[in-house]
Amino acid sequence: MKLKRAPLALSILSSIALLAACGSAPEPTVEQTPKETGDAFVARVNKTFADQMPEATSAAWLSQTYINEDTARVSSASSERSLTTLNRLVEEAKAVEGTPMSEASQRAVALLKLQTSMPAPRDPAKLKELTEISTKLEQAYGAGSYCTGEGEAKTCRDIGELSEVLAKSRDPQAQKEAWEGWHTIAKPMKADYQRFVELVNEGAREMGYENAGHMWRSGYDMDPAAFQQETDRLWGQVKPLYDQLQCYVGDKLVAKYGEQGKVDGKYLPAHLMGNLWQQDWGNLWDFLQPYPGAGDLDITSALQAQRDALYGEKVAKLGSGASAEQLVGAAREADLAHAKQMTQLAESFYTGLGMPALPESFWTKAQFIKPRDRDVVCHASAWQMNPDASDVRMKMCIKPNEEDLTTIYHELGHVYYYLAYKDQPPMFQSGAHDGFHEAIGDTIVLGMTPSYLQSIGLIGSATVSEEATINAQMRMALAKVAFLPFGLMIDRWRWGVFDGSIPADQYNKAWWDLKAKYQGVAPASSRGEEFFDPGAKYHVPGNTPYTRYFLSHILQFQFYKSLCDAAGHEGPLHTCSYANNEAAGEKFWAMLQKGQSQPWQQTMKELTGGEQMDASAILDYFAPLDAWLKEQNQGKSCGF
């Protein structure tokens, strides 16, 4: 089964929702604060967050779904109020630290400083500057396109169109142009990003952290230095499997493209990997498939046929005299109807586990397809608009293909987390840690086995054979295993930028040094400091921490194994689907309901029986493929 995820990542996630929740509130008098107990202070913080969340999230939603100067201004002003209030509350928290209060209040006070990934300076002018730069960077990404020609001959292609070239073309020059074209959108961001770094570092230092990266690493219920070592340990567990996959793919690229298939004889060429960021190699399936046709699961064709059937029905109703405008309208109606059908399929997996149906408002307020009349941020994300989760949304530009189908399953993981922890106080309405939030939907995706896909009518009977198993494992590995080093290197770059070990005049060099070190990937031609290639990945201008995605790829297999155990699965791990198993669903839902109310280690233990993140389930899952890859690579010079 071809399993791919969206350019991950933006999801809006609860950490961003909590940032948005920190709205303005009446300033307390100087006399009130010292008299306030710790429990009363936390109650006031929770009320402030709850009261301001709807307005703040609406401003952020408009900024991403109606990109223009007006929404940028509204969003910047809302962020400014939110960060001002957060700074004030963090300062006021000092008056209650160390005083008697409940254990829950102690945890809430400790978490207060970590409610934003964008710590703002206290200076009002600098805070305002930060929010304006933040909105500018995000909207620049959302409106980005690559244009050629001039005047009436000018043509522009957005991220979707350029991604299509990388995914489907096998012309190296066309792929290189598309890859380089998208990266042009980031060049103007560099100066703004450099200033952004200066401002968030100042804000982090005022909160007591060394820099913004140190602050980010402090959000895991463990020492920041120990957390960095933990990610190194986890990478060490999975790196041998990645190395085998990278070696196999490199040889296939050389067989396909000759000497252009590798850079310097050992690195994978960035523009030939089928993906703008080389985080998912599934689009190269046509020549990476180990056994052509064995157990073939053409989900995209099935989805496209469903959409075309809807369009045909609408055209038939119009009759033979339909105008071009009416046909365009029918196509839009078919696109929207099918996007909702795809989302309903994903919802049915969650409800089959005993989870509730999505609120009715979800179906009227979510963005399912790209509007024709305005710029939007198409990067997939999930949104909790208010504290009681009566208004939850998803934002995508859905197309009838397998990648977008699995992305929907992923995004609904965030939505169901929101629904599960809605009864927690706002301070605890977040994942056990941010990697948990990203892992939920992907744990569901792992349950989309051939038997499940057959049960929902997307494939016919699935062939069971050793060749079919290797094919299925390879397709999964091209999405999941290929992603692992990419999930790690982005924040390795940002941590260096934040602590100053990567200066502004080496931003691009350091980016490609890390991609070479972790992914074994390199550009086909020189990328000097006139470029700002990190900005071509949404999460950099969008300021979304990225280690969460690496952790989620570890956790999802750990969670999956635990749910398979709860469902009573017997046999190889990769054959397990817990779809419609309420025992597994009950265990999963119980974990989701805890939110961030307790250390993640405790939440982990309640689901898996252990308190440590562990990649052994990945190695267990991919054991057949690992053995096969070692046979294929025997005698070859692997490594980078």
Q: Are 414 and 11 in contact (CB under 8 A)?
A: yes
- Gyration radius from the chain CA atoms: 24
Residues in a beta bridge with 522 = 269
Q: Tell me if 410 is assigned to a ligand binding site.
A: yes
Residues in a beta bridge with 147 = 156
Q: Tell me if 414 is assigned to a ligand binding site.
A: yes
Q: Are 268 and 249 in contact (CB under 8 A)?
A: yes
How far is Cα 554 from Cα 568, in angstroms, rounded to an integer?
22
- One-letter amino acid of 633: N
Residues in a beta bridge with 393 = 383
Write down how long the chain is.
640
Which secondary structure element, helix H or strand E, spans residue 200, and what is its range?
A: helix 190-206
Please name which of 126, 125, 58, 127 lies closest in space to residue 86, comparing C-alpha atoms. 127
* 539 carries an active-site annotation: yes
Q: Tell me if 433 is assigned to a ligand binding site.
A: no
Token digits of residue 17: 């929702």
How far is Cα 598 from Cα 428, in angstroms, rounded to an integer?
9
Active-site residue identified among 411, 433, 437, 574: 411
Active-site residue identified among 271, 539, 569, 574: 539
* Pairing relationship of beta strands 521-522 and 268-269 according to DSSP bridges: parallel
How far is Cα 364 from Cα 342, in angstroms, rounded to an integer?
15
Q: What's the burial of 506, exposed, middle or buried (CB within 10 Å: 0-12/13-18/19+)?
A: middle
Residue spans of beta strands (DSSP E) within 143-199: 145-148, 155-158
How far is Cα 375 from Cα 566, in angstroms, rounded to an integer?
45
13 CA to centre of own chain = 9
Please name which of 182, 163, 264 lies closest in space to residue 524, comparing C-alpha atoms. 264
Q: How far is CA 234 from CA 229, 432, 468, 551, in A?
A: 9, 18, 29, 9
DSSP annotation string for 445-493:
HHT--HHHHHHTTSSSPPP-SHHHHHHHHHHHHHHHHHHHHHHHHHHHH
Which residues are part of the catalytic machinery? Answer: 411, 539
- Known binding-site positions: 220, 410, 414, 438, 548
- Known binding-site positions for chloride: 220, 548
- Known binding-site positions for Zn(2+): 410, 414, 438
